Amino acid sequence: MIFKLQLDRNHIEEIVATVHQRTALIDEIERLVTQDNLSEQIPGYEEDEIVMLNLKQIDYFFVEDERTYAHCQDGKQYLIRRRLYELEKNLPGYYERISKSAIANWPRISRFRVQLSGAVDAVFKSGYTECISRRCFAELKRRYGL
């Protein structure tokens, strides 16, 4: 692999990668390059308070009744004033889409539970369980060799 870096203040920043195939590493590089510099904290809303939530302490983000929420490791849920697709583009690489309506913090998942119906649940370290869609689980299996 060859790496070139050219510093030129007179040109627009551009990153071009020529690769043989798309891999998890390439996906992560793309995510890092295109993210909007979301810091390690995000504002969460609870009634009349705004709480700064640490991204590493959030189990997952989910949509319910057309509103986005963060479920934290302490069991509390906070309203997030962003759409799920906006979060997905800007979250760090350790977050993965697990269904059409949820994005999980991968290191916070302690195990996977297979149901008799064939559905797979992610069990978080906090004890909470969230269903993983079949399509997303197939992609996670391919990416992580599950």
Q: Which domains are present in the chain?
A: 24-144 (2.40.50.1020)
Which of these ranges, 34-38, 57-61, 116-120, has the smallest mean pLDDT? Answer: 34-38
pLDDT-derived band of residue 80, with 50, 70 and 90 as boundaries? very high
47 backbone dihedrals φ, ψ, rounded to 5°: 50, -110
95 backbone dihedrals φ, ψ, rounded to 5°: -100, 135
pLDDT at 11: 78
Q: Which residues of 63-89 are buried (b: 16+ CB within 10 A; e: fewer)?
A: beeeebbbbbbeeeebebeeebeebee
95-99 and 49-54 strand pairing? unpaired
pTM value?
0.70
Average pLDDT along the chain? 86
Q: Quick one: average pLDDT of 61-69?
A: 95
pLDDT-derived band of residue 68, with 50, 70 and 90 as boundaries? very high
Q: Which of 116, 107, 109 is nearest to 130 (CA)?
A: 109
pLDDT at 40: 84
pLDDT at 34: 64
